[in-house]
Structure 1
């Protein structure tokens, strides 16, 4: 019943077009609705474009008005995704019901016609569905959506899933005792989601839309309503708005469409409205003014300041169409060019901001927002405001260069083409969400081929002038807002004077507007520097593993290559490299924090011959990526590509191993991130947990946890280079490639890049670096943080042992799942003490003898001690009384579903099997035995582990609370 944060569904974070990642491009989103757009791409009437609904989609409407949509899809095989969209949310609440739309979503899991209270989650678990993963829901302003991921698609399972949705729609019991029990859960969800970012959003939202209903109906609601509302208010909302004509049922999966359609008709045709319909609420109005309105909000605990320029206009209601999407294209590309300019500016020496972006979005058929937002530090707000103003005016005055447009067009086209390649193996969960979204918003659900056909010609004809015209229409006309929000103190900090602060902000903006702007600088063009790596490497061994359909190859230079060709994701190839010994050889005693800094510099610095901006331009239109991490026993690089770009992907990775760009400008960018992170640590529970506790539970080893900020900031690119050069250039290297590739072409591509590198040394044992120990005696640690946000966080640790023995690791993991479910029942359901308590096993595969069982939750500070005691008691009860057969099955069945699905997952084969298949050949046996071994686990085995490790005398506690006021 995880409800999405309002912040994620409203103006502050939603944006239609955030750029084109070089890896895993998603299906292009529908163009945003209703904002002004130029007519430069209008076609003659004879060539009027069209966008047709995906022909595989079957839709219908029942006699009672309920709509349904069914889409056949093969991935994951044998599974189905079901959605129930109720087109009612917090906007439909009365003043006395504020928060009940969301509360009602929770109550759907607490008793209905076919599922008595306390039985539904357990029923799901026995079916092989995990709570929160396969069963979930969210509430927004204008809808409530329920989601099920069914483990099978046989007729009884589909019938059961539809019966659950039917109970949500028309069979809720809404018992008084269950409502009272859930109040604490809702209040703790509100507490868990409370943070400075949310508080800033609420303040700005209310200021800008002060004449609208939206700010008065945040989905989480009001505490007095949550605490006191009686059953009749719930019933009134449910019977009024949970009406069949306001519902959509979506089914996507590996099933027979006709059968599912018949089941939907049989299940939902009897559904009837229980009360008369009411008129839709008055949404209010979008403020209409000329000139400027200034908003200032000081949030002293914020880690940064956000400066924004915002234009709000009433939503222009018009049907979705090809013409509408084409009209938005020039604006979207203009915004992307502007965003890339901000990225480049943020890297320059002395840049007064960390990041910036421009976006446009439409919300709830009510308002269209165009915004330019800059993240900066408290002292640089005025300079950042100047950057926002000048860069927008620079674009509006001088437009865009042809090469800038060519870059974003290439990326956009690449996204479209990759979406077409991936279409046959899209996952049902993704498709069901997209389909539910489209039907709810009244948008056309088209196949990726239709998107490509629609936009291809338009992209070819698009000009910089088209983009400039679109940008001018977007940021013109009505008045706009200037906002400065966060930790900036404007004026006398001892005597807050909002009027004076607003006047100072206005003065800075007006002064900036008087300053002229010059055309953008010409872009520096370069040639790709990493084409040739020497004579291709020679294959010295090639072993085929028939039962797992793998190839294990070794080159003469010592590079190991592991291959698995799959059809799980059409057009996708995933590549992973493991090199060196990672954190095991981190010189933390000499350079505390070097691992964090080295990883940051590596990912931000580009390559030796190409800085990040040159690299982005060179790679425009190509599907390549590579992310670097410092793992416990290796450095890893992971990326995603296609057949056409595999050679380029491997050239990039070879260059990263031999010529990574640990640049000073990357250090500047990283320092901005580090400073912001530590400012956040000062006022959140993350502070002591990420610094002191993370190191303490690893026996004080300086490789773990974060050092003081000034120590981290003292690390240099030279130190990172000194540490990384030898292992990257000479360390053991194992390459795993999984996906839709040509095997012989792939081997040749590796031979010409990684196989052509100088010889690699063998892996070092480094046994002396593996001596990590959990603290010998149980400990109690208590921390206080200065914050006005009333929430605490707690951790309970039980030392266990390592997971080097895979059978023991699996059993500890299943015991962790049992403990996690007991926390759900005891801490969440029975006492409402936390929204999302969780527990899991952490059994090391690197450090002999090291492991722990961990439990954590966010709580009311006043209840922290009591809930910590309860968690210890829950563990102790497991130790004394063991695991029941039913608990074992409810923990095991979701794991079995996950195992079966993972067999068709590229990520599973890449990271869990092939990543180190030659270094650790036992991993192949782990893959062979996984399903059988989990099936063989007994309740007595888990009970024995619980007796060994979970007794109260072994528990350690960490509690982080706000400072006493």
Structure 2
């Protein structure tokens, strides 16, 4: 996988840290001449998009789009982020984004989230925002596209743009939330990324403007600081409104003009800051950036050179195509090498991209065990040099170009039903990064001829150009130990010198051209005579079909128009973890990590990737609670091939040793990480404790997982694959007859299947008799803890109960937001969820989880318990009930037009559990009819605080 914008991507969101992976980040200055990239480019913008500029300089982009039906995605993009801050303002752009939810011209402080909920919008899901280096973006997902709703949405965005109150009381209230978010987002990965930025980009502004800011400045901000930044940067010419949805674009463009035309600058503009410089140097610069708590070590060889801004044109896009192909080939080589016996790394990636019109960053990263960093560094250096010296062969080129071309063709097939939120994100990226928003058809027309003519020599030249800098940055990070060989008797060298010496030693090693790659054909096209359908039923009101083949395989299909050119498949086999051998704990987890990596009997996983290049096939696999589950996404042309691939995994799995080697490397890193993060005990300890020690629950102990073998995996899986029950669900843009025929020739042709056993004894699970509190500690320097409370509930066999628990949980979650986040300010994102089991009888849990300052565990715990007790004793209010219900109803309406809902909630086990069809018919009306009295009864039954199990995780004392 290409690793785009490695150093230009780190951003802090209002609700997430995000690593942007889209178009290259551009300079932060808004356009002063042409307002859109296509104004001066020979690339053609999507003709369906309306682009406009108001007299005050604000730009708008409007696109009519029908998925999801009757909904709209609105965005306000401000071309200003943390790079616009002064030293004294570090963190204010992100803090200001939070303040947008704390009072404006039309929405008094504390009312906006409630207003959204009454409109049928969920906080976080439908109303969100993020701040990055070069932009601040506000997002609204409207529940409908009626004119009043659109007016309200645009009014909210207009208030963000120019009507924030920024009251001192609200500034002080939000300060704790910002600091809580900073604590929540603090991690080893974040600290390593910051250290790396300082090493390779220390002469630029980027390492000094991470959007979350600094504690000292966050604690010092007063109202006047916000108004100064807001007035200077939230200016019409730096803003754009994006609207995508199921509406009349002319009418919406008119509404935007009517709403935003009066927006005006409130203060003189500040000049955009200089971003700094990229020093040119020859030779190497090395750094050792240790983090003892990191799950693994990593090595990196990078080049960074200064660049000049370039326009988005036909020529610039075609110029980068050979580089994209070359990177794909080298990454395939790394993937193959990682599976080799004694490979000194577990995964690797090579990348090249441009950032901020300032630099080009190209490099190779490898992840490894702590003691293997010298070998990993050498392998990375030699593989990169192998590619740069010897280039690529035609088979590698064909595979890479076939995959890229297939991706372009799939984009064309699926373009008609792209979702509005995704299109809105693409439009923002194009607008802020000064790129042309082109159509998938035009992209295919541009790149296909070039891909058909591209040569290995062009790809080699492009890779050499990407790495043409005379200097290299070398980094060794994570839990690697870089130290002198004290036994040598020589004077100790610095870590940087040791790293440089290892690199220079590798450079002296000659590298040969890679071995030629042989072509092969897929070996699994016949599974016996095609099966016949023994019975079938069309369910008219749900417009789906249920069929059973003579071998006992069940098939459930539904043709939809939700996603053009896409078909989703789910295959459930056997009994899953219900029958995991009790004397082999961790076997299911082990299989999840090894099964697909083992390939097939006649093809390794790497062989399959090469053989299936250019085809829309690929298989997921997991051991679920009650079945072995294969999943896939394909199209009409490749449906048969996809089903052949799944049938091959069932009839001839590979169980190769390379899969075991890969898995064990990953296990070591996984458990190392869990030992140093607060949620580690919640994964390792609590699930099994809550299930009275049942080994099927939670993450197995490291020693248990280490004891598992491929032989055990084969012995447990083989009987399930041989005769276990099979139920297939196929949903999407399909031809029903062709789908039945493809199943008949693959899974329908397999030997007869057993009926699904009841397994009532295996379905028993139980909480301990008495609630307990467990205190855990983790070895970490990061000062944060977790408090989790678990209330036992029940299973999901009575869907009415499950729905009422879900709605009750939504009320509980909202009270947590108000009491713990907004009033106390002691946590950033308190969560609550209801998880009734659909496998284990009478077993379920309602859980609340908060990340916090360890010193605040007691007060936050008392607050959560008080909220639960108040609900248990006094119930919910009618107003709370409606605010919780309306966003759920919005999501239900939307999910009914998604393949994911029909595949996962209805058809996946529709014949094993026929009641799922009835559930589908009643879910909306049932939620509409839930009453306060019902929720009060469930709260009284389940939520008294004395019923709760507690887990408290804090850093170990130093």
TM-score normalised by length of structure 2? 0.96
1:338 deviates by 0.3
The residue aligned with 1:926 is: 919
Contact 2:6 2:361 in 1 (8 A): no
The residue aligned with 2:179 is: 187
Deviations 1:427-476, CA, capped at 9 Å, x for gaps: 00000000011001100000100000000110011000000000111111
1:258 deviates by 0.6
Contact 2:22 2:429 in 1 (8 A): no
The residue aligned with 2:7 is: 11
Pair 1:316 & 2:308 matched: yes
- Decide which of 363, 370, 377 is 1:378's aligned counterpart: 370
- SS where residue 533 of structure 1 aligns? coil
The residue aligned with 2:62 is: 70
- Cα distance in 2 for partners of 1:260, 1:936 equals 34
- Decide which of 551, 571, 577 is 2:565's aligned counterpart: 571
Q: Tell me: CA distance 1:171–1:493, structure 2 relative to 1, closer, same or farther (3 Å).
A: farther
- Decide which of 675, 682, 688 is 1:682's aligned counterpart: 675
- Cα distance in 2 for partners of 1:192, 1:255 equals 39
- Counterparts of 1:939-958 in structure 2 under 5 Å? 939-958=932-951
- SS where residue 71 of structure 1 aligns? strand
- Decide which of 426, 435, 439 is 2:427's aligned counterpart: 435
The residue aligned with 1:237 is: 229
Contact 1:9 1:140 in 2 (8 A): no
Contact 1:14 1:361 in 2 (8 A): no
- Cα distance in 2 for partners of 1:477, 1:583 equals 53
Report the more deviating stretch, 868-877 or 505-514.
Answer: 868-877
- Cα distance in 1 for partners of 2:749, 2:25 equals 48
1:705 deviates by 2.2
- Decide which of 511, 515, 518 is 1:521's aligned counterpart: 515
Pair 1:461 & 2:457 matched: no
Q: Tell me: CA distance 1:523–1:13, structure 2 relative to 1, closer, same or farther (3 Å).
A: farther
Contact 1:605 1:661 in 2 (8 A): yes
- Cα distance in 2 for partners of 1:599, 1:555 equals 29
The residue aligned with 2:753 is: 760
- Cα distance in 2 for partners of 1:517, 1:843 equals 57
Unmatched segments (≥5 aa) in structure 2: 12-20, 28-39
The residue aligned with 2:191 is: 199
- Counterparts of 1:556-955 in structure 2 under 5 Å? 556-587=550-581, 589-955=582-948
Contact 2:569 2:631 in 1 (8 A): yes
The residue aligned with 1:43 is: none
- SS where residue 841 of structure 1 aligns? strand
- SS where residue 769 of structure 1 aligns? coil
1:489 deviates by 1.1
1:826 deviates by 0.6
Deviations 1:502-533, CA, capped at 9 Å, x for gaps: 10100010010000001101213322110111
Contact 2:305 2:469 in 1 (8 A): no
Q: Tell me: CA distance 1:266–1:494, structure 2 relative to 1, closer, same or farther (3 Å).
A: farther
- Cα distance in 2 for partners of 1:573, 1:95 equals 52
The residue aligned with 1:511 is: 505
- SS where residue 443 of structure 1 aligns? coil
- Cα distance in 2 for partners of 1:195, 1:8 equals 22
Contact 1:33 1:316 in 2 (8 A): no
- Cα distance in 2 for partners of 1:724, 1:109 equals 52
The residue aligned with 1:54 is: 46
- Decide which of 75, 78, 88 is 1:96's aligned counterpart: 88
- Counterparts of 1:216-365 in structure 2 under 5 Å? 216-365=208-357
1:494 deviates by 12
1:364 deviates by 2.3
1:478 deviates by 3.1
- SS where residue 494 of structure 2 aligns? helix
1:807 deviates by 0.4
The residue aligned with 1:37 is: none
Pair 1:389 & 2:389 matched: no
Q: Tell me: CA distance 1:9–1:834, structure 2 relative to 1, closer, same or farther (3 Å).
A: farther
- Cα distance in 1 for partners of 2:712, 2:26 equals 51
- Cα distance in 2 for partners of 1:952, 1:591 equals 36
- SS where residue 349 of structure 1 aligns? coil
Unmatched segments (≥5 aa) in structure 1: 1-6, 16-27, 35-47
- Decide which of 154, 162, 165 is 1:173's aligned counterpart: 165
Deviations 1:189-211, CA, capped at 9 Å, x for gaps: 11111111111111110111121
Pair 1:446 & 2:438 matched: yes
- SS where residue 840 of structure 1 aligns? strand
Contact 2:117 2:123 in 1 (8 A): yes
* Count of residues in Structure 1 that have an aligned counterpart in Structure 2: 932
- Cα distance in 1 for partners of 2:41, 2:764 equals 67
1:685 deviates by 1.7
Deviations 1:7-57, CA, capped at 9 Å, x for gaps: 998617679xxxxxxxxxxxx9658889xxxxxxxxxxxxx9952100001
The CA RMSD measured in Å over matched residues stands at: 1.8
Deviations 1:52-102, CA, capped at 9 Å, x for gaps: 100001001001100000011110010000110001111111111110000
The residue aligned with 2:33 is: none
- Decide which of 526, 533, 542 is 1:532's aligned counterpart: 526
Q: Tell me: CA distance 1:737–1:122, structure 2 relative to 1, closer, same or farther (3 Å).
A: same
Deviations 1:346-387, CA, capped at 9 Å, x for gaps: 000000001111111222222221111111111000000001
- Cα distance in 1 for partners of 2:608, 2:908 equals 27
- Cα distance in 1 for partners of 2:155, 2:909 equals 45
The residue aligned with 1:542 is: 536
Q: Tell me: CA distance 1:859–1:29, structure 2 relative to 1, closer, same or farther (3 Å).
A: closer
- Cα distance in 1 for partners of 2:788, 2:227 equals 38
- Cα distance in 1 for partners of 2:316, 2:7 equals 21
Contact 2:5 2:24 in 1 (8 A): no
Contact 1:90 1:218 in 2 (8 A): yes
Deviations 1:107-163, CA, capped at 9 Å, x for gaps: 000111101111101111111111111111000011100001001011000010000
- Cα distance in 2 for partners of 1:746, 1:49 equals 44
Pair 1:109 & 2:101 matched: yes
Deviations 1:721-754, CA, capped at 9 Å, x for gaps: 1111111221111000001111111111100000
- SS where residue 138 of structure 2 aligns? strand
1:799 deviates by 1.3
Contact 1:566 1:740 in 2 (8 A): yes
1:647 deviates by 0.4
Contact 2:65 2:246 in 1 (8 A): yes
- Cα distance in 1 for partners of 2:675, 2:852 equals 19
Deviations 1:271-306, CA, capped at 9 Å, x for gaps: 001100111112111122111111111111111111
1:962 deviates by 0.1
Contact 2:303 2:473 in 1 (8 A): yes
Deviations 1:584-636, CA, capped at 9 Å, x for gaps: 1111x211100000111112111111101100001000001211111111111
Contact 1:253 1:428 in 2 (8 A): yes
The residue aligned with 1:403 is: 395
